[in-house]
Amino acid sequence: MARVCGLMGFLSSTGGAGDRVEALAAGMRCARHRGPDEAGTWQDAEVAFGFNRLSIIDIDHSHQPLRWGPAESPERYALVFNGEIYNYLELRAELAADHGAEFRTEGDGEAIVAAYHFWGPDAASRLRGMFAFLIWDTQERVLFVARDPFGIKPLFTAELPDGVAFASEAKGLRELTGAPAAVDTVALQHYLVLQYVPEPATMDAAIRRVESGTHVTVRPGEAPLHRRYFHPRFLPRPLRSAADRDRLTAEITEVLDDSVRAHMRADVTVGSFLSGGVDSTAIAALAKRYNPDLMTFTTGFERQGYSEVDVAVESAEAIGVRHVVRTVSEEELTSTLPLIVWYLDDPVADPALVPLYFVANEARKHVKVVLSGEGADELFGGYNIYREPRSLAPLIALPDPLRRGLATLGRRLPRGFRGKDLLRRGALDLEARYYGNARIFREDQLAGVLRTYDPERSFRDVTDPVYARSLGSDPISRMQHVDLFTWLRGDILVKADKMTMANSLELRVPFLDPRVFEVASTVPPGEKVSGQATKVVLRRAVAGIVPPHVLHRRKLGFPVPIRHYLAEGSYEWARDIITSAQTDEYLDRDAVLALLDAHRAGDGDWSRPIWTVLVFQLWHAIFVTGALAPKVPEPVYPVRL
């Protein structure tokens, strides 16, 4: 039944679910790209479900919405499910042996419902996969909702006057609310700092997210009850000998291979994204073991220095896979960005969205599923910023008065002076200096750009509660913990899901597997980063799997030359967006134009702040004022590949 698809569900508090069917159908049409193979609906007096299917497993059966129940009540439950359960065969066998569960399809959806029937809400923690699902119990009249541990698959929710709704796409929920988006000014302030809106908020004040690793129980007319079932902790193990280190390395190699094997389960062709880094190369090399005809895909820009195509081609030749390259032009970037923002639902100002959209578009011509390397950096310590506790250690060890004095000295140094930022950051505690990998507008810059700026608001409103759950851990583990709940699920996984689903392509992320995390969470700090390297133990674990030219290479991902574009050929394009935007209520137009002109004049690199504003203004024009309506292509992909 597997399908990375689009779901919608409405639970009525008045018994009038039938009144919402037409709006639900309109919402499903908004998510047609998530499941172009078939659509289905189901309803009773209190619930209406809709589903768009991308068929991956048990293609000819396992239609949704799915009905299942025990022998005495074979249609007790109704399910809509977006995602993949990689241990569904094992779950089906266990449920049949231990509880006598009977199944009528060969898919994974029935395993979810049967698990819920016999294990209750604990079923969510037994699932190995990526998922967002709704189960309606027609006997108990209760709706059970769950989202996967890491937040790989999206799930939006909105409370309405006559009930509560859930959907894979926020734009679908607006068909139920009947209103355009309304800007949440707190979310906007966080977005301008972080480049994404942190969960559970969205930029639309009327719509929220069900958080990663959370399940929700709701009865008609009652408030939803949210419970977190996944509580990740990094608990490094001591390595007292070379044998301990070798054992850890072997465990990582084994569990990663097992995860890739599980992620290859499909009744359609599976490919892999391949950049120039160790993460995607390791995934592709392992996938080749299970699919000798594996195809890989990469992308780059025409501008020199903004492409890893050559490295990826060399890697593809080394591991023996057929490789496809998609090159993106500057004109394609600017002309397609409004459509990309439409697919996004919520603004995310990561320029890597653009090449990801195009490589997914190319991959969908050849395969229906791709593997990718997201999550490796967060689990194994892959970001250079994770080395900062080591580099700042001499400053952090100084008495507080001396640290503050050096910070004062740093502020007096001219902009661009080497070591200026080091002195500033060395005077700050971890909670004050680290809030993720993207830092767009500093707090002191916001006041000059954001008209609704609230000095009482801070990124620490987002990160402090997360830091509180990692007290006592080492600094690197605490940074990783923050990234799991902010950067990973707010940026990395959003762009991965939205850009592949825009092209009706399923993306799977073998690093973000509960069993992989179980091992990764025990890696000690010295095996994550060293003085010169990141992901130390992971590189050692895949040393016999990836080609040598990749093993110690710094990953660029899909680099985007917006710094050059905004100063040169795309300057007028950006200026037109800024001047035509109806966002003066929120942003100082003159201040933003001044940043754009300063960037073109070479007075600093302001490309990321400008890009962040542009993405918000496009989102506002599409979803708030309706001034912009990108032409959305109709999905035309075949069921089988």
| Span 262-314, pLDDT tens digits | 999 887 889 999 988 999 999 999 999 999 999 999 999 987 777 778 889 99
Residues 119 and 106 in one domain: yes
Q: Which residues contact 520 (CB under 8 A, 6 or more apart)?
A: 252, 379, 380
For strands 208-209 and 322-328, give the pairing.
unpaired
Residues of the domain holding 445? 386-483
Helix (H) / strand (E) containing 317: helix 309-319
Annotated binding site for ATP: 372-373
C-alpha span between 371 and 112 (Å, rounded): 23
Task: Identify whether 28 is part of a domain.
Answer: yes
- 336, two tokens: 């397609």
Decide if pLDDT at 463 tops 90. yes
Asked, for residue 80, whether it belongs to a domain, the answer is yes
Helix (H, G, I), strand (E, B) or coil at 459: coil
Do 313 and 407 lie in one domain? The reply is no
The answer to whether the CB of 170 falls within 8 A of the CB of 204 is: yes
Picking from 483, 498, 526, the residue at the C-terminal end of a domain is 483
- Same domain as 489, residue 479: no
CB atoms within 10 A of CB 590: 11
Based on the domain organization, do 327 and 412 belong to the same domain? no
Question: For residue 2, what pLDDT is reported?
Answer: 42
Residue 327 token pair: 């090159």
508 located within any domain:
yes
Residues 359 and 494 in one domain: yes
* pLDDT of the residue at 306: 72
The answer to whether residue 3 scores a pLDDT higher than 80 is no
Identify whether 236 is part of a domain: no
pLDDT over threshold 80, residue 557: no
Q: What is the maximum span of the chain, computed from C-alpha positions, in angstroms? A: 77
Report which secondary-structure segment, H or E, holds 41. Answer: strand 38-43
Q: How many CA atoms lie within 13 A of 581 on its CB side?
A: 26
Same-domain check for residues 443 and 409: yes
- In this structure, the answer to whether residues 49 and 144 fall within a common structural domain is yes
Residues 527 and 593 in one domain: no
**H or E element: which one contains 290?**
helix 278-290
**Is the distance from CB of 49 to CB of 113 less than 8 angstroms?**
no
Examine the domain organization and report whether 43 and 74 are in the same domain: yes
* DSSP secondary structure letters along 572-627: HHHHHHHHH---TTTB-HHHHHHHHHHHHTTSS--HHHHHHHHHHHHHHHHHTS--
Catalytic residue numbers read 5
- The rounded distance, in Å, linking the Cα atoms of 629 and 503 is 19
Question: Which among 173, 205, 228 is the end of a domain?
Answer: 228
Q: What's the CA angle centered on 295, arms 292 and 297, to 5 degrees? A: 150
Helical (H) or strand (E) element with 541 = helix 536-541
601 residue type, one letter: A
User: Count of alpha carbons within 13 Å of 534, Cβ hemisphere only?
Assistant: 21
- The residue among 551, 574, 597 that closes a domain is 551
pLDDT in tens, 195-253: 999 999 999 999 999 999 999 999 999 999 999 999 999 999 999 999 999 999 999 99
Q: Kindly tell me if the per-residue pLDDT of 638 is higher than 70.
A: no
Closest Cα to residue 75, out of 48, 104, 46, 97? 104
Determine the Cα–Cα distance for residues 150 and 129; give it in Å rounded to an integer. 10
Q: For the chain, report the end-to-end CA distance as a whole number of angstroms.
A: 16
165 plus 292 within the same structural domain: no
Residues ≥6 apart with Cβ < 8 Å to 200: 208, 209, 210, 211
Is residue 601 included in any domain, yes or no?
yes
Per-residue pLDDT tens digits for 10-45:
999 999 998 898 888 888 888 888 887 777 889 999
Task: Tell me the pLDDT band of 1, cut-offs 50, 70 and 90.
Answer: very low
Secondary element (H or E) of residue 51: strand 47-53
Cα–Cα distance, 136 to 134 (Å, whole number)? 7
Q: Is residue 351 part of a domain?
A: yes
pLDDT of residue 556: 61
Same domain for 148 and 253, yes or no, is no
Q: What is the pLDDT of residue 478?
A: 97
Q: Is residue 641 part of a domain?
A: no
How many CB atoms lie under 10 A from the CB of residue 515?
16
The runs of H, that is alpha helices, within 122-177 are 123-126, 170-177
CA 524 to chain centroid: 26
Q: What is the count of structural domains for the chain? A: 4
CATH code at position 345: 3.40.50.620
Strand order in the sheet with 163-167: 38-43, 47-53, 6-12, 163-167, 156-160, 208-209
> Which amino acids are annotated as binding site, given as ranges?
108, 372-373
Annotated binding site for L-glutamine: 108
Smallest CA-to-CA distance from 8 within 220, 177, 148, 261 is with 177
Same domain, 491 and 617: no
**Radius of gyration of the CA atoms of the chain, in A:** 24
pLDDT digits (tens, 9 = 90+) for 504-553: 999 999 999 999 999 999 999 999 999 889 999 999 999 999 999 998 87
β-pairing verdict for 369-371 and 506-508: parallel
The answer to whether position 234 is within a domain reads: no
Considering the entire predicted model, what is its pTM? Answer: 0.94
